[in-house]
Amino acid sequence: MVTFSHLDPGTDEERWQAAFDARRLPDADIDIDALVVVAAHPDDETLGVAGLMHTVAARGGRVIVVVATDGENSHPASPTHTPDDLRSVRRGEVRDALDKVSPAASVAFLGHTDGGLDAVKARLTGEIETIVRTVGSPRSRTLVVSPWTGDSHRDHRIAGEAAHAVARHLGVRYRAYPIWLWHWGSAEDPPWGHIERVPLGAAAHRAKLEALAAHRSQTAALSAAAGDEPIVSRAMLRHFTRGFETLIRVDDDPVPDKAWHRSTPAEHFADLYARRADPWGFETRWYEERKRAVLLSALPRPRYARAVELGCSTGVLTAQLAERCDALLGIDFAEAALEIARERLASQETVELRRATLPAEWPEGTFDLIVMSEVGYFWDAPDLERAIALALGSLSPDGHLVACHWRHPVDTNPVSGDGVHIALRTQHDLAVVVRHEEDDFLLEVFARPPAPSVARETGML
């Protein structure tokens, strides 16, 4: 492992230009339908492959960005910005940068600790797998890119290893992009025999420069105080203003990883309900009461004919949904939770409660409202992929699918809440009608394209 600091002078860009001029490198094959960009920190995606994202998007391809950490520890000695300040700032910078290179790109912020990816490698791998599985494009037409494992940065190495493992497991094309190599390395360090170029046209190059400028917290001083110095100096920034980008081809046999995350087992929930009748505080926490109110107010219609709630638990939300539905099916596989729900809803003749294991025992028929609240992150990637496909198959042509999930990391969950939502947003057959985002939870209502707004559906426009 190379030891270096961002405060070091680094390698002059002129040396790298001479090294590139001395070699004839092949162009990367970027004839793809979908690009999944994994970044260890906010700005990795822009520094490494902003031009590639623009090029793929301009050709009609889909771009999905997965940001593993919020980069909140980029300035540990800052007297002006706390990690929470930087977390918010850096997420906003990613969105601003993507608006420049690929406005339609989907982005998943996984929220892992900056500098701590080694502690969550298995979970990170599962989250990336979830997203790649649900991209919706043929795997032969999908490319996954991530930081190079030889970048001599621990988070970059872990993110690269996780993304590469997913690509091998699923048989998807994979390339790595270096970041810190250009700072600490010399012409002898890159694996030149495996390097490919991505030439940037004028539009892509201009868009990348604009995207780079969006990451002000990293390229400019936060203040004049010590500890607020730029992370990416002007000299280092020059490495990323080239007229081309660099990908590294990694050659090895596709060996599946046997130690893959699995869906949360039924025993986990049986144990939860054995210890507490209301393990998540649905009946006692203002947070839960408020979130239900937000979900109900987000429903685009006052009433639905036939609805299903996936993972209805003890029926607190079910009771309120029933007031808006002619017929409502609540499903859960925890018998202890359903016993409470049956008692709560005993007088509701329009509600049916059913014990079933999802997605294996999916209900028959079609629904004009499917509610997937706080359940998607309990499925592993294959089960989530199957659940989304089944939901699409049972959603009526004019129906709505509501997804609402906790956003903070939970080590026992196979995927994150954000991962569930990006899996839904990357479906060709779904479009977002309503989006409500908070630090704690994300709520989205989906419909089949063109997904008219409430005003349009009700004739106001």
Tens digit of each residue's pLDDT (9 = 90 or more) over 108-119: 899 999 999 999
**Inside any domain, residue 7:** no
Identify whether residues 279 and 229 lie together within a single domain.
no
Identify whether residues 322 and 373 lie together within a single domain.
yes
Tens digit of each residue's pLDDT (9 = 90 or more) over 273-290: 889 989 999 999 999 999
CATH number at residue 70: 3.40.50.10320
Find out whether 222 and 80 touch, Cβ atoms under 8 Å: yes
Name which residue leads in pLDDT, 347 or 126: 347
Q: Which of 13-17, 122-126, 357-361, 440-444 has the lowest mean pLDDT?
A: 122-126
Cα 224 to the center of its chain, rounded Å: 34
pLDDT at position 170 is: 85
Average pLDDT, the chain: 92
Q: Average pLDDT of 196-210?
A: 98
Identify whether residues 289 and 174 lie together within a single domain.
no
Residue 8 has pLDDT above 80, yes or no: no
pLDDT at position 257 is: 43
**Inside any domain, residue 219:** yes
Give the chain's domain count. 2
Residue 260 has pLDDT above 90, yes or no: no
Identify whether residues 218 and 285 lie together within a single domain.
no
pLDDT at position 126 is: 85
pLDDT band at 264 (very low <50, low <70, confident <90, very high): confident
Identify whether residues 381 and 448 lie together within a single domain.
yes
Identify whether residues 158 and 290 lie together within a single domain.
no
Full-prediction pTM beyond 0.85?
no
User: 77-109 b/e with 16+ CB inside 10 Å = b?
Assistant: ebeebebeebbebbbebbebbbebbbeebbbbb
